[in-house]
Chain A
Amino acid sequence: EAENVPPVIPTPHHYLLSVYRHKIFFVAVIQSEVPPLFVIEFLHRVVDTFQDYFGVCSEVMIKDNVVVVYEVLEEMLDNGFPLATESNILKELIKPPTILRTVVNTITGSTNVGDQLPTGQLSVVPWRRTGVKYTNNEAYFDVIEEIDAIIDKSGSTITAEIQGVIDACVKLTGMPDLTLSFMNPRLLDDVSFHPCVRFKRWESERILSFIPPDGNFRLLSYHVSAQNLVAIPVYIKHNISFRDSSSLGRFEITVGPKQTMGKTVEGVMVTSQMPKGVLNMTLTPSQGTHIFDPVTKLLSWDVGKINPQKLPSLKGSVSLQAGTSKPDENPTINLQFKIQQLAISGLKVNRLDMYGEKYKPFKGIKYMTKAGKFQVRT
């Protein structure tokens, strides 16, 4: 299977480092000792850039934009040394294709290659270009948390951790200097910052102080580890049994909200890989739609919103291959969900201030909690 291909493959003369994304392998061939993480990080950055430029990253897209792809790669790497990997700078060097620009270029014969050295590239703030101007000055921050968890048969948490990020979309004129403070900064003991964040200030005052890049960027990512108590917002009640004697099994799951601080759980999706011995499933959901693929043995149930008064459930029977013994392994249930307006770790932004510019910007902060790798064993 493609996703099980190891990322480092030795050959007699070279090493192949690869990442697998969007069903495409991106491979780097290296001849000498290079830190593999360096290469793999870079490859991921290349994929991110393609996605940023073309909206999607697919074989077709790469073919359709082969010239831009070439030009971008040229800007990103020089003889094995990364050059410009900041999307802000790249976009000044090579303009991303848009339908309008393609039309204009065809008519006027102009190009999508910028002929000016990106201004920010060598300044003290290489991530920001100078001379930015907006009529509506706005700064939005999204606090997004993903819960990775493994829940055991009896419903108790084996491990749970939160991967959080603060993504920003900042469209501010000039050289704004922002500070962002939290109600409970103590939660953030394991953080990775965008280079723009002044680390010293954080160390001493637990305040994020930075000159933001222009546009979209990830301000920081953080990790709330398994040792802190992580609230689990949903639970699954399950009763899945395969009996030895008969070729029929029982299947019943119910999803319910747990610690949601009164917010609605939505976008719920349940998937589960059934054992090989399962031939088919006859199920009735109380809401949503479900599909069982008898070839891949994948059951997926698109639940939608959870109404706490009427818990969604999926019940029915499982038909097993006759004559074989019952499957040894019990299926693991994978859960996806979203909760708006909630950061499950409890992280809250206190205030956002701007210095260095005169105008009053429009500010906004949104919270969201999602399931990451959320697995329930049965």
Chain B
Amino acid sequence: MTDSKYFTTTKKGEIFELKAELNSDKKEKKKEAVKKVIASMTVGKDVSALFPDVVNCMQTDNLELKKLVYLYLMNYAKSQPDMAIMAVNTFVKDCEDPNPLIRALAVRTMGCIRVDKITEYLCEPLRKCLKDEDPYVRKTAAVCVAKLHDINAQLVEDQGFLDTLKDLISDSNPMVVANAVAALSEIAESHPSSNLLDLNPQSINKLLTALNECTEWGQIFILDCLANYMPKDDREAQSICERVTPRLSHANSAVVLSAVKVLMKFMEMLSKDLDYYGTLLKKLAPPLVTLLSAEPELQYVALRNINLIVQKRPEILKHEMKVFFVKYNDPIYVKLEKLDIMIRLASQANIAQVLAELKEYATEVDVDFVRKAVRAIGRCAIKVEQSAERCVSTLLDLIQTKVNYVVQEAIVVIKDIFRKYPNKYESVIATLCENLDSLDEPEARAAMIWIVGEYAERIDNADELLESFLEGFHDESTQVQLQLLTAIVKLFLKKPTETQELVQQVLSLATQVADTPGLRARGYIYWRLLSTDPVAAKEVVLAEKPLISEETDLIEPTLLDELICYIGTLASVYHKPPSAFVEGSRGVVHKSLPPRTGSSESAESPDAAPSGVQATEQPAVIPTQGDLLGDLLTLDLGPPVSGPPIATSSVQMGAVDLLGGGLDSLVCLEDSAAASHSPGDGDCAHCVSVAVKCFWSTNLPGWRAPKGSFWEKLQGFLVSLTQVWLPAMKAKGLEISGTFSRQVGSISMDLVLTNKALQVMSDFAIQFNRNSFGLAPAAPLQVHAPLAPNQSVEISLPLNTVGSVMKMDPLNNLQVAVKNNIDVFYFSTLYPLHILFVEDGKMERQMFLATWKDIPNENEAQFQIKDCSLNADAVSSKLQGSNIFTIAKRNVEGQDMLYQSLKLTNGIWVLAELRIQPSNPSFTV
């Protein structure tokens, strides 16, 4: 006799049978039937046909039956809006029921029925319930306002529900307060400008009182709301902190983390001299540690947040290293996060322990984890100078294990250690060379080649080693090829006599056989340099390299400050600001940490200095593998290069242009093409904005674009110069900039992808979200070779307009997702409308006239443009350039009138009248 029996009725005629049972007189049979219906619904069967029969069961005094019917209603009301109206009466009646449980149930269910017609009927019952004598009903009604707002925001505002909701913040019952806060927060999130929760010391006081009494979930809502408050001075901040601290001992980890967020934020305002500041710091550590003994899922979220916290305030957890030690049966996602934090907390005091642990991890089974552990050893060496020696010997021990991936990882990090401490650990080179043959990953091969080249004078058989690599030059990845080229040149400069043949061989391979522009460019540079002025070549190629910085993957300080405000949220898990990933981010408000109050500023400075300085230095981090480009950069700036110095930022492109002479690399062509049409674009963009009067002679009635703002927008998007769409900071080092263009009937998106990260990027793909004009990529994104760090590549992506359509706001908004081997990144951009103007946009004169007259007034918009001193002919020809055609031209009272038409890819015609006064540079309608 279990419920699973409800799942088993799959015979034919089932619906018919159920129908009969639902209409049965026997209560018990009815209930059984409804249960069967619910079970079918659960497994995804369509039982919507039974709607009227189920709704008939709604009027019952059996609470279980009523609940089940409500459940059904919530699921199917949307598909049967007309039928759903039948339920309204019962709802209204139930809202008056003497039993508060039923009143609350009714108001709760009502809010879940997303049918426009019904919502209007529900306002009255809801209003009553918001003022109900029973707090259980009031708190349920508060949530219902948020639900209703999601369905019909205007209605909620018109009915004054928002004010009632605000009043509920002062309710006598803490649960009602908590739910009102939750509802208001949710509404405020979708309307950031509405200032619904205007927080002031009085309301804050009410919230803090409710905090002590409401449920754990209510506490989370209240704490998150408190975090948005900006106390007026440090005293207020402290008093809030004092009242929030007890929440750190709550059993619910979400309450704890929300409390941590409030404290981390308000702490910013407290003077570091204050005793209370120190007390607070001490109080923060235990709850964070406790989070790590929870279930692995909770641990993961906690660890991501702790990662932010230790970057912001390392002092909190500096003695807690041991809790981050990895247990061998932790899930891999927990292991990797723990490892990250271990490195961040590593200091001279605990480095011995950390190293011993890391060495232990390096012998585990999980390959990803082992690799990261080996890398971590290298990072420790770079971070804690005193430990470098021990780290190197640990790495050497690991190399002795001969486990392939361990060896490769170790060699990569040893290269970094060499860069941080030059001329210190070269004695290990011999050991490294023994493992040359086992290296099969490009990064490890490149690292090894770099080491051989850098220390060529100490390695007797450097030439043999490099020669052996050269044999398979064609099969190597670009990264390795570049390193090999540089290493051999270095070798040649150090031992010119024996290696002449080798260097010639590599130069000819690089310049003649290779098809990577970067490689060819570098080959030519070296070639010229060596042939014109070997002394200068030596100065340039063997120049002293800048030391690499201590820590690499720290979060940039402004982003970190913003993320601290988002502790506990998804943003903190992804370490990105919400604007970077929240779907359709409805105008996300940027949050910032409160400034420390003035009085404490001077007092804290000695103490604050270390962390402050560390923070400001971060942007200057030199990527550990930047030596490739480092070499090149020095080259470009070096005087012996013939020709003018290059001032562009695209070093590699410039170099090809300058030195390549007859080089006809694809890149170069593309580059010049882009250069030649972008001024043109700018020009025509300017012209289009001259088109003054615009009519939507649209055949799609739904297209009621807001006319007034249309022009503003048009002007806005006509700027089609290359823009940075996706800054590297938001996309783990991938920077995307680009522009749109239209050439002979096809639209294309010209992209420049730049890798500013430390690792190679590959497997690129692109996708567009649905947009107003159905723009979609016509071909997959093709990036032929993996993108090495600090390289960039230009791609022209053909587009078509056959994708699916969805109206965007603004109209020309395009949301793009780009994927690579690291992650998926999202950005949105505005495309210039004129790329959508088709070539056959010239309308027949008669037709133009007819349509012109038919345009209803409401589809008309006027705009005036000033400071455009072009005559009518010039305008007309310029406009034609971007597919806006002149139909007729007249001269009325000394003014030129131009009648223009254009057609969008989706078949919409836009007609315009231009009035130009020759004497007056401004064009009017």
When the two chains form their complex, are residues A375 and B295 in contact, meaning their CB atoms are under 8 A apart?
A: no
B583 in the interface (beta carbon within 8 A): yes
When the two chains form their complex, are residues B289 and A375 in contact, meaning their CB atoms are under 8 A apart?
A: no
When the two chains form their complex, are residues B108 and A37 in contact, meaning their CB atoms are under 8 A apart?
A: no
- Which residue of the partner chain A has the closest CB to B42? A66
Chain A residue numbers with a CB within 8 Å of B443 are none
When the two chains form their complex, are residues A33 and B582 in contact, meaning their CB atoms are under 8 A apart?
A: yes
Tell which of B143, B213, B287 touches A79, judged by Cβ atoms closer than 8 Å.
B143
Binds B, one of A217-225, A347-355, A360-368: A217-225
A179 in the interface (beta carbon within 8 A): no
When the two chains form their complex, are residues A124 and B213 in contact, meaning their CB atoms are under 8 A apart?
A: yes
When the two chains form their complex, are residues A37 and B68 in contact, meaning their CB atoms are under 8 A apart?
A: no
Binds A, one of B88-96, B508-516, B573-581: B573-581
Q: In the complex, what's the smallest C-beta–C-beta distance from B5 to chain A, in angstroms?
A: 9
When the two chains form their complex, are residues A7 and B297 in contact, meaning their CB atoms are under 8 A apart?
A: yes
Binds B, one of A106-114, A167-175, A245-253: A106-114
B791 in the interface (beta carbon within 8 A): no
A77-88 interface code vs B (CB 8 A; 1 in, 0 out): 011011001000
| Bound form: Cα–Cα A126–B135 in Å | 13
Which of A17, A38, A163 has the most chain B CB atoms closer than 10 A to its own CB? A38
A317 in the interface (beta carbon within 8 A): no
- Which residue of the partner chain B has the closest CB to A12? B817
Chain A residue numbers with a CB within 8 Å of B65 are 111
When the two chains form their complex, are residues B327 and A150 in contact, meaning their CB atoms are under 8 A apart?
A: yes
B705 in the interface (beta carbon within 8 A): no
Q: In the complex, what's the smallest C-beta–C-beta distance from B104 to chain A, in angstroms?
A: 8
| Bound form: Cα–Cα A35–B363 in Å | 36
Binds A, one of B298-306, B415-423, B603-611: B298-306
B258 in the interface (beta carbon within 8 A): yes
When the two chains form their complex, are residues B220 and A38 in contact, meaning their CB atoms are under 8 A apart?
A: yes
When the two chains form their complex, are residues B327 and A81 in contact, meaning their CB atoms are under 8 A apart?
A: no
Q: In the complex, what's the smallest C-beta–C-beta distance from B85 to chain A, in angstroms?
A: 22
Interface residues of B in 67-82 (CB under 8 A from A): 67-68, 71
A159 in the interface (beta carbon within 8 A): yes
| Bound form: Cα–Cα A226–B71 in Å | 50
When the two chains form their complex, are residues A81 and B136 in contact, meaning their CB atoms are under 8 A apart?
A: no
Chain A residue numbers with a CB within 8 Å of B249 are 191-193, 199
| Bound form: Cα–Cα A4–B368 in Å | 13
When the two chains form their complex, are residues B63 and A111 in contact, meaning their CB atoms are under 8 A apart?
A: yes
| Bound form: Cα–Cα A41–B300 in Å | 12
| A375 and B328 in contact, given A63-B3, A121-B136 (Cβ under 8 angstroms) | yes
Q: What range describes how many residues of A lie at the interface?
A: 35 or more
| Bound form: Cα–Cα A68–B401 in Å | 57
When the two chains form their complex, are residues B583 and A113 in contact, meaning their CB atoms are under 8 A apart?
A: no
- Which residue of the partner chain B has the closest CB to A102? B1
Chain A residue numbers with a CB within 8 Å of B574 are 10
Chain B residue numbers with a CB within 8 Å of A343 are none
| Bound form: Cα–Cα A250–B806 in Å | 69
B335-365 interface code vs A (CB 8 A; 1 in, 0 out): 0000000000000000001001100100111
Q: In the complex, what's the smallest C-beta–C-beta distance from B177 to chain A, in angstroms?
A: 12
| Bound form: Cα–Cα A79–B250 in Å | 25
When the two chains form their complex, are residues A13 and B357 in contact, meaning their CB atoms are under 8 A apart?
A: no
Chain A residue numbers with a CB within 8 Å of B332 are 4
When the two chains form their complex, are residues B257 and A373 in contact, meaning their CB atoms are under 8 A apart?
A: no
Chain A residue numbers with a CB within 8 Å of B290 are 190, 192, 221, 223
When the two chains form their complex, are residues B296 and A375 in contact, meaning their CB atoms are under 8 A apart?
A: no
Chain A residue numbers with a CB within 8 Å of B135 are 122
B728-755 interface code vs A (CB 8 A; 1 in, 0 out): 0000000000000000000000000000
B235 in the interface (beta carbon within 8 A): no
Chain A residue numbers with a CB within 8 Å of B325 are 150, 158-159
When the two chains form their complex, are residues B215 and A126 in contact, meaning their CB atoms are under 8 A apart?
A: yes
Binds A, one of B475-483, B564-572, B713-721, B888-896: B564-572
- Which residue of the partner chain B has the closest CB to A113? B64
When the two chains form their complex, are residues B328 and A6 in contact, meaning their CB atoms are under 8 A apart?
A: no
Interface residues of B in 132-155 (CB under 8 A from A): 134-136, 140, 143, 146-147
- Which residue of the partner chain A has the closest CB to B360? A377
Chain B contact residues, majority secondary structure = helix
- Which residue of the partner chain B has the closest CB to A190? B286
Binds B, one of A256-264, A286-294, A329-337: A329-337
A320 in the interface (beta carbon within 8 A): no
Q: In the complex, what's the smallest C-beta–C-beta distance from A71 to chain B, in angstroms?
A: 6
Chain B residue numbers with a CB within 8 Å of A273 are 328
Chain A residue numbers with a CB within 8 Å of B322 are 158-159, 161, 226
A209 in the interface (beta carbon within 8 A): no
| Bound form: Cα–Cα A332–B327 in Å | 10
A313 in the interface (beta carbon within 8 A): no
- Which residue of the partner chain A has the closest CB to B323? A226
| Bound form: Cα–Cα A195–B247 in Å | 10
A67 in the interface (beta carbon within 8 A): yes
| A117 and B100 in contact, given A31-B583, A35-B220, A74-B71 (Cβ under 8 angstroms) | yes
When the two chains form their complex, are residues B215 and A37 in contact, meaning their CB atoms are under 8 A apart?
A: no
| A35 and B63 in contact, given A67-B3, A67-B68 (Cβ under 8 angstroms) | no
| Bound form: Cα–Cα A113–B249 in Å | 35
When the two chains form their complex, are residues B101 and A115 in contact, meaning their CB atoms are under 8 A apart?
A: yes
B649 in the interface (beta carbon within 8 A): no
- Which residue of the partner chain B has the closest CB to A223? B290
Q: In the complex, what's the smallest C-beta–C-beta distance from B113 to chain A, in angstroms?
A: 12
When the two chains form their complex, are residues A81 and B182 in contact, meaning their CB atoms are under 8 A apart?
A: yes
| Bound form: Cα–Cα A68–B68 in Å | 10
B246 in the interface (beta carbon within 8 A): yes
Q: In the complex, what's the smallest C-beta–C-beta distance from B352 to chain A, in angstroms?
A: 12
Tell which of A7, A122, A203, A328 touches B363, judged by Cβ atoms closer than 8 Å.
A328
Q: In the complex, what's the smallest C-beta–C-beta distance from A105 to chain B, in angstroms?
A: 10
When the two chains form their complex, are residues A193 and B250 in contact, meaning their CB atoms are under 8 A apart?
A: yes
Chain A residue numbers with a CB within 8 Å of B136 are 117, 121-122
B810 in the interface (beta carbon within 8 A): no
B28 in the interface (beta carbon within 8 A): yes
| Bound form: Cα–Cα A79–B68 in Å | 17
Q: In the complex, what's the smallest C-beta–C-beta distance from B290 to chain A, in angstroms?
A: 5
When the two chains form their complex, are residues A113 and B301 in contact, meaning their CB atoms are under 8 A apart?
A: no
| A32 and B568 in contact, given A4-B333, A38-B220, A117-B99 (Cβ under 8 angstroms) | no
A196-210 interface code vs B (CB 8 A; 1 in, 0 out): 000100010000000
When the two chains form their complex, are residues B39 and A66 in contact, meaning their CB atoms are under 8 A apart?
A: yes
Chain A residue numbers with a CB within 8 Å of B403 are 328
When the two chains form their complex, are residues A225 and B289 in contact, meaning their CB atoms are under 8 A apart?
A: yes
B395 in the interface (beta carbon within 8 A): no
Chain B residue numbers with a CB within 8 Å of A64 are 2-4
Q: In the complex, what's the smallest C-beta–C-beta distance from B30 to chain A, in angstroms?
A: 11
| Bound form: Cα–Cα A115–B328 in Å | 50
Tell which of B319, B329, B569 touches A33, judged by Cβ atoms closer than 8 Å.
B569
Chain A residue numbers with a CB within 8 Å of B782 are none
A34 in the interface (beta carbon within 8 A): yes
When the two chains form their complex, are residues A113 and B217 in contact, meaning their CB atoms are under 8 A apart?
A: no
- Which residue of the partner chain A has the closest CB to B769? A12
Chain B residue numbers with a CB within 8 Å of A150 are 325, 327
- What 7 pairs across the A-B complex have the smallest Cβ distances? A190-B286, A64-B2, A7-B297, A111-B64, A37-B254, A113-B64, A159-B322
26 A/B residue pairs, CB under 8 Å, sorted by A: A7-B333, A8-B573, A21-B295, A33-B570, A35-B257, A37-B257, A37-B302, A38-B220, A63-B4, A64-B4, A66-B38, A67-B35, A70-B42, A71-B67, A74-B67, A78-B108, A81-B179, A85-B217, A111-B65, A117-B136, A122-B173, A148-B293, A152-B356, A158-B356, A220-B251, A273-B328
Residues on A lying within 8 angstroms of B by beta carbon are 3-4, 6-8, 10, 12-15, 17-21, 31-38, 40-42, 44, 60, 63-68, 70-71, 74, 78-79, 81-82, 85, 102, 106, 109, 111-117, 121-122, 124, 126, 148, 150, 152, 158-159, 161, 163, 189-195, 199, 203, 218, 220-221, 223, 225-227, 273, 275-276, 328-330, 332, 334, 373, 375, 377
17 additional contacts (CB under 8 A) given A111-B63, A115-B63: A19-B295, A33-B569, A35-B569, A41-B298, A63-B4, A66-B3, A67-B35, A71-B67, A85-B217, A113-B64, A122-B134, A148-B293, A192-B250, A221-B290, A225-B323, A373-B329, A375-B328
